Amino acid sequence: MRIACAQIIVPDDPADAIERCLRAVDEAAGSGARLIVLPEAALAPFGTDLRAAARENAAEFDARLTARAEELDVVVVAGSFVPADGDASEDRVLNRVIVRGRGTRVDYDKIHLFDAFGTRESATIAPGRALRTVDVDGLRIGLATCYDVRFAEQFQALADRGAQAVVLPAAWADGPGKAEQWRLLVRARALDATVHLIACDQAPPPVDPAPERGCGGSLVVSPLGEVRAELGREEGILLADFDAEEVAAVRRRLPVLAHRADLRA
C-alpha cells in the first residue's frame, strides 16, 4: 500500500486550513497514495482559539474531508478538535484524529496530553481514554498523536490489538534538541512494537521567531527502526510503500512483543 504524509503549514484561519488540507489530499492522491496522513491540529494550529474552531468549523472540516476522500477513493487521517461534551470544564475540547474515506469513520482522541516544556495542553484539551485501530487494504493501523510517542506501552498495546502500522499526526513544537528527540522517539516506537510508523508533523511557518507549531521532519520508519523516507522543515508530500508481510517477517526474527515480561507488580 502506498501512504503519504502531507507536511503542511496550518493557517491560523480554519477556513483557510480546510482548503489547505484539501489541496494536500488532492496532491497526495494524485501520486497514488491510498492512505493520506495530515498533521495533528490540521483544523486550527495551537495558539489560536481551539474552542471556536471546534464549535464552528469541525463539522465542516469533517464533512469536506470525508467527501473528498470518498470522491478520490482514499482514506484520510487528520487532526481536528471537537467539543468535549460532558467534561467538567466546559471550555475544553478533544484533540481528535479523524479517519475518513472508503466507508471508514473512526475517531481517536489523544490520550497523553502535553503538559511539559512549559506547555499545559490539559488546560484546553480533555484527554481521550480509548485505543483505536482501523483496517485499510488488509493492513491494520493503530492511531496515536504527537506526545503519545513518548509512551512505548501505547504502541505495544496497539500491536497487541493487531496493528501492523501506526500513524502519528503531530504538531511537534520546536526547541533545543526537540527535532532530535522526535526522530529518535519515532524510530524507537517502531522497534518497540515492530510496526511501520508513519509520523506526520506540521511544517513550521516561515517567520522569525516561528510560533511553536511543528518542526517538520515527517518520516516513515520500518518495523526495524529504519528510516525509509523523511522530509526537512519545509512543506511537502512524503510517499512510501509497504505491506503487512514485512511486519510478520520482522516479528518472526525479533519477537519482542512475545518476549515481554509483566513487570507491573
Q: How far apart are CA 53 and CA 96, in angstroms?
A: 12
Catalytic residue among 5, 21, 146, 200: 146
Task: Indicate the helix (H) or strand (E) that contains 208.
Answer: none
Catalytic residue among 110, 200, 215, 230: 110
**First-to-last C-alpha distance (Å) of the chain:** 41
Kindly give the interhelix angle for 58-72 and 14-30, rounded to the nearest 10 degrees.
Answer: 10
Q: Which three cell numbers stand for residue 181?
A: 528527540
Q: How far apart are CA 80 and CA 86, in angstroms?
A: 18
CB-based contacts of 187, cutoff 8 Å, min separation 6: 197, 221, 225, 227
Q: Is 5 a residue of the active site?
A: no
Q: Which of 208, 200, 185, 192 is nearest to 236 (CA)?
A: 200
Buried b (16+ CB within 10 A) or exposed e, 238-262: bbbebeeeebeebbeeeeeeeeeee
Q: Which residues pair with 78 in a beta bridge?
A: 98
Catalytic residue among 40, 121, 212, 230: 40
Q: Is 178 a residue of the active site?
A: no
Kindly list the catalytic residues: 40, 110, 146
